[in-house]
Structure 1
């Protein structure tokens, strides 16, 4: 498993680590209007999936807004940000921040995404900051488990992988 720390303390990631070349695991999360959303809802698109602990914290907010800004310039790429935040809180945050080019989704109910992607931190039931690029055939083409959860991911590498995926 990936070695990850949260505020410089080691954490245990639950689930199976996802690797480049894997078939992307399915998941069920909730949209801000409480509808179930799964990987299959994005069939035929490249998916850039950003897992964050909470959109309502500094680094997560910056990351989500940054991906929202570039999402409109990506051809056939759907950007998803997934956190354990409640859907209502995500909806309020997105409205307040003008985030509307990406799908912000909640894994709070079942932790389906967190467990299926090996990103659920056992110690605090939050998602570890991680990025996954999944091509239109649901093959994983890029993975980053950010070593220290409170720091930024490699935006350029993730965007380059999303643009290269078919």
Structure 2
């Protein structure tokens, strides 16, 4: 069966699906800023914040669907003058990262507002081959909210 990947807005996803996703310990392994247990209030705050970014920037994070089923969230978020790409998948969908990212990066290449994309990964991430295959270059280590991250950049023009 062919896997159809679609992007939709986060308010279309049932809060319980996001709660289960974000409370899975396998998701938290590489998310050092994920320090709270998610509940309905946390999901509501999260979705409101992501929708605020859409209104402010005309772009933001999506919910990712595989054959119509929620598998995670991510997309582009404006960080200063840069568009940062993030991807947070449910563990049972980790294998879809390449397909989802390929579609998202194609979106960025076609969008004149995005001359390059940045990626912030925690130092715990050791397998960086996907970024290399995309053509992303290591920029250096940066501090984000008191936590070190590895920063990469992919030119899209």
Same fold? TM cut 0.5: no
The alignment's TM-score, normalised by the length of structure 1, stands at: 0.33
The alignment's TM-score, normalised by the length of structure 2, stands at: 0.34
Which structure is higher in helix share?
A: 2
Higher relative contact order (CA 8 A, sep 6+): 1
Which structure is higher in strand share?
A: 2
Structure number with larger C-alpha Rg: 2
